[in-house]
Amino acid sequence: MTQEIENTPAIAPFNTLGLHPSVLAAITAVGYEEPSPIQTQSIPLIMAGHDMIGQAQTGTGKTAAFALPILSRIDANRREAQVLVLAPTRELALQVATAFESFAAQMPTVNVVAIYGGAPMGPQLKAIRNGAQVIVATPGRLVDHLSRNGGLLSTIKFLVLDEADEMLKLGFMDDLEVIFNAMPDERQTVLFSATLPSSIRGIAEKHLRNPQQVKIASKTQTVARIDQAHLMVHADQKINAVLRLLEVEDFDAMIGFVRTKQATLDIAAALEAKGYKVAALNGDIAQNQRERVIDSLKDGRLNIVIATDVAARGLDVPRITHVFNIDMPYDPESYVHRIGRTGRAGREGRALLLVTPRERRMLQVVERVTGQKIAEIQLPDAKVILQARIRRLTQDLAPRVKDKENKNVELLAHLTTELNCSAEDLALALLAKTTEGQAFTLDGVEREQPVLAPRGRDNRDRDDRGGRGRDDRGGRGEGGRGDRGGEGGRERRAPLALSEGKVRCRTALGVRDGVAARNLLGAILNEGGLSRDAIGRIQIRESFSLVELPEEGLESLLSKLKDTRVAGKALKLRRYRED
């Protein structure tokens, strides 16, 4: 089969940007396959020591654009503050700190501390004094610290102003001046922002040296013949949204786009568990396997492929009626490129897009650049889902009911005699069998909904932006279970719940206690005597954390860990009741 050669701009892979090998290893673990445009352009400049101004929309990957090169350049063996990142809010500061931690996962001597209001100052100060190399702070709280300890920032070599426009909107101008004055002049300063109002240019002129500018702007694009819709959703509800939308969308073949390898596996597993013929396509998949997947999609052995942009490059399958943007693309060009997979050969295509609250602005940019509104749709409720199920079943049965040559006439007679029942009784029994695992009453569908929801309430404070691998580094067994396919598929439950044989345990230590996933992991490995793959997902929250541990031998494990301390505090791990 010939494959279309596409004219996409060359993107240098991560390993050509001069990043430190430990950082590269961490990127692979997090599942990023290729740098986003702002990353491609900023990383070499920061690596070369330039000051810079980076302008790009929310959701374009600005955090890694500065975190990766800066981590590559710090002196990991010096235990002193070297990097200061300023972020507008506590949430953003925590997100950036967690991202730094995941990118520094292979740099055991590097520590990150988040400094923000609403938490005691003592532990924050102590973490800085203990030699954390990376400080991520909100300006207000940092100024409080400075008023007591003026020398706190005297060893800083890298300063990042993240989401600079937001910081100014929140009135942090004066605080920023105080912070600049408390910092050595010999430093590298980078500023990232979605917009560059004159106030920010003013700051740049005064405090940056000869800054290089990087701007990710968009040219107008045309999209035709494609019916587009978007749905607002929180990141932790994405799988739920995908499952429900697939029930009501009439598709032949679909390609779903996500950002990371892990997400291709997670989503494909969730769909497979519901009986869809689906495969994941990511950069780890060998070329011949990739071709097999594409061929299967062409001939209908597969109906859905969940892919990263890299893996989908060059994929051209006329059967595709739907493109599902499960994670936002980085820019409008890539959106247009993605949805161009459908509507081929003059056919109507449909494009769906999930938008998390922080990505609203990107949605607007896409609309502006394409000159088209992308209609908002709502999550289908139980009633709509039930109707769709009945419609599908009806469509499936219609030709069989009309089939005059049905070969089962004798079998019917035999069964009704054997079972001593009417044809209607038998029909009911057969219906029960074909609908097994899927509700066909309103009540039943409603009761299914909570099952569809991936993970429970422990999840509300998750990063709402679709990225994974921040706070949930750790065993990833659940996505890639070996027992794929088979007829039992429909009955399996959503795989994003717990992995088999694992239970969740909770500790009251979280981000605010200075705990990171690798601290927890280290403590449990060392003192619990477990192997690495016995430990499942680790979720670090603000005021608590959850760890998946093997159910077998849990009691004795917990008693081994009875006196374990993490970040100077008692771990006190307990089994966590799911509801």
- Which residues sit at the interface with Mg ion, rule CB under 5 A? 62
Amino acid in the structure at residue 34? E
Taking the least distance from each CB to Mg ion, the nearer of 62 and 90 is 62
- 531-562 as b/e, with b when 16 or more CB fall inside 10 Å? eeebbbbbbbbeebbbbbbbeeeeeebbeebe
Taking the least distance from each CB to ligand ADP, the nearer of 32 and 276 is 32
Q: Measured from the CB of residue 127, what is the shortest distance to Mg ion in angstroms?
A: 22
Q: Measured from the CB of residue 546, what is the shortest distance to Mg ion in angstroms?
A: 25
Token digits of residue 561: 């860990």
DSSP letters spanning 394-408 = HHHHHHHHH-TT-TT
Instruction: Name the residue whose CB lies closest to ligand ADP.
Output: 467
244 contact choice in Mg ion, ligand ADP, none (CB below 5 to 8 Å, kind-dependent): none
342 contact choice in Mg ion, ligand ADP, none (CB below 5 to 8 Å, kind-dependent): none
In terms of DSSP H, where are the helices of 224-283?
238-248, 261-273
Taking the least distance from each CB to ligand ADP, the nearer of 58 and 459 is 58
Q: Determine the Cα–Cα distance for residues 274 and 36; give it in Å rounded to an integer.
A: 32
* Lookup result for tokens 């505090």: 569
466 contact choice in ligand ADP, Mg ion, none (CB below 5 to 8 Å, kind-dependent): ligand ADP
Token digits of residue 143: 């100024």
Q: Measured from the CB of residue 164, what is the shortest distance to ligand ADP in angstroms?
A: 12
Binding residues for ligand ADP (CB under 6 A):
32, 35-36, 39, 58-64, 259-260, 465-467
DSSP classification of residue 260:
S
Q: Are 509 and 515 in contact (CB under 8 A)?
A: yes
Instruction: Name the residue whose CB lies closest to Mg ion.
Output: 62
Token digits of residue 418: 């054997």
Q: Determine the Cα–Cα distance for residues 536 and 553; give it in Å rounded to an integer.
A: 15
Q: Measured from the CB of residue 313, what is the shortest distance to ligand ADP in angstroms?
A: 14
59 contact choice in ligand ADP, Mg ion, none (CB below 5 to 8 Å, kind-dependent): ligand ADP
Q: Measured from the CB of residue 537, what is the shortest distance to Mg ion in angstroms?
A: 24
290 contact choice in Mg ion, ligand ADP, none (CB below 5 to 8 Å, kind-dependent): none
Contacts for 548 with CB less than 8 Å, ≥ 6 apart? 474, 475, 498, 499, 502, 503, 504, 505, 535, 536, 537, 538
64 contact choice in Mg ion, ligand ADP, none (CB below 5 to 8 Å, kind-dependent): ligand ADP
Q: Determine the Cα–Cα distance for residues 550 and 503; give it in Å rounded to an integer.
A: 6
Q: Measured from the CB of residue 242, what is the shortest distance to ligand ADP in angstroms?
A: 17
Q: Measured from the CB of residue 67, what is the shortest distance to Mg ion in angstroms?
A: 10
Q: Are 29 and 105 in contact (CB under 8 A)?
A: yes
303 contact choice in ligand ADP, Mg ion, none (CB below 5 to 8 Å, kind-dependent): none
Give how far Cα 568 sits from Cα of 127, 154, 515, Å. 11, 26, 10
* Lookup result for tokens 């890694």: 64
Taking the least distance from each CB to Mg ion, the nearer of 62 and 518 is 62
Q: Measured from the CB of residue 123, what is the shortest distance to ligand ADP in angstroms?
A: 26
CB atoms under 10 Å from CB of 64, counted, come to: 25
61 contact choice in ligand ADP, Mg ion, none (CB below 5 to 8 Å, kind-dependent): ligand ADP
Q: Are 247 and 372 in contact (CB under 8 A)?
A: no
